[in-house]
Amino acid sequence: MWNDWIERTVNLKNHVEIEHITQFLHTFGLTFDAEVDYTVAVFQNDTIVGTGSRKGEVLRNIAVSSDLQGQGLTATIVSHLMHEAANHGIFHYFIFTRPEKAHLFTALGFNELARVEPHAALLESGIGSLADTCREMVGQTSHLPVGERAGLVVNCNPFTRGHLELIARAAAENPAVIVMVVSEDRSLFPFSVRIRLVREGLAGYPNVAVIPGGKYIISAATFPDYFTRGADTVTAQTRLDALVYAKYIAKALAIEKRYVGAEPYCPVTRAYNQALMDILPQFGIAVKIIDRITDGRELISASKVRQWIRDGQWDRIKAVVPESTFYYLQSQQAEPVIKAIVNSQSRH
């Protein structure tokens, strides 16, 4: 209790409590994500007057009744969430909020990284920062030859000949290439497998560095709904991700060109490509969209490889993935991944 406020942990398995939080957030134009790790509600006379949630490092759905704004309740909720996160060994925090609310969190010590009007702003605080990550990436790529640098961001779920051709094109046209593999572990192929297959497939390219994308590239912070849909949400998050890449990461790594594959299938990826074309040139970064290659019948895509795994079409798979990827798929190590793919219809 602080003054006449009472903080209570929300039981995320209690449908009644969740409904109360959902209705409260609805008055602010917010929705509740039932997959959060933790939610706190603040009550005054048994009425909800504030709430906030945490999912990993991201603090979200923070809302305070209008008649209590300016009285320190936002700080109370944020402090509560940070303390709870610390109990789980988390000491770095992101906040994804609307631009007009960003000042409430900069006043609490958060640093604004980027904003996309009128949709969203991204802020961070705690131990570790985007600047620290950029310095680490500089160290990971210091062995590359001097000269113009190109960049790519790939998921590679799994690594195909389409990915290989795209990166090989960049490597042929630039003295150095930096490939960032999306680290967010929400794909059927785990991150550890995806980055391994990319590195193995590119072993013959000494001017290419393959590094983790980390938590600032298509992550739960910069792109929390990359794996879902929604027009305004996609617009906000694709542009936030592009801004973070252009303002900080590409600048630190001296990347002058970003290569992307043309996207005929996924509307989210098409929107992401458009965001890159709109934003990166403003920071002096050229965007090159390369047409996808075919296997003689249709465009090569990782989603088709996953479907062929379900269908047992190994001859087709062998024709569209590098030898190192196929070797892995046929190995005992891949059995848990193959089983997960067969039992899932996930888009990712």
At residue 341, the pLDDT reads 97
At residue 166, the pLDDT reads 97
At residue 346, the pLDDT reads 72
C-alpha 267/C-alpha 69 separation (Å) is 39
Residues facing residue 1 across a β-bridge: none
CB contact set of 212 (below 8 Å; sequence gap of 6+):
180, 181, 183, 191, 195
Span 60-89, average pLDDT = 94
Given a cut of 50, whether residue 86 has pLDDT beyond it is yes
Percent of the chain clearing pLDDT 90 (strictly above): 80
Span 151-165, average pLDDT = 97
Given a cut of 70, whether residue 348 has pLDDT beyond it is no
Specify the domain boundaries for CATH 3.40.630.30 within the chain: 6-127
Q: Which of 40-54, 262-276, 297-311 has the lowest average pLDDT?
A: 262-276
Q: Domain 131-342 classified CATH 3.40.50.410?
A: no
CB contact set of 298 (below 8 Å; sequence gap of 6+):
304
Q: What angle do CA 2, 95, 116 make, to 5 degrees?
A: 135
Percent of the chain clearing pLDDT 70 (strictly above): 97
At residue 232, the pLDDT reads 79
Question: What pTM was estimated for this model as a whole?
Answer: 0.93
C-alpha 237/C-alpha 243 separation (Å) is 10
Among residues 284, 215, 288, 277, the alpha carbon closest in space to that of 242 is found at 277
CB contact set of 243 (below 8 Å; sequence gap of 6+):
114, 115, 116, 279
Specify the domain boundaries for CATH 3.40.50.620 within the chain: 131-342
Tokens of 168: 């090989």
Span 251-262, average pLDDT = 97
Mean pLDDT, all residues of the chain: 93
Given a cut of 50, whether residue 1 has pLDDT beyond it is no
Q: Which of 131-135, 204-208, 268-272 has the lowest average pLDDT?
A: 268-272
Span 300-320, average pLDDT = 96
At residue 233, the pLDDT reads 80
Class of domain 6-127: alpha beta
Given a cut of 90, whether residue 236 has pLDDT beyond it is no
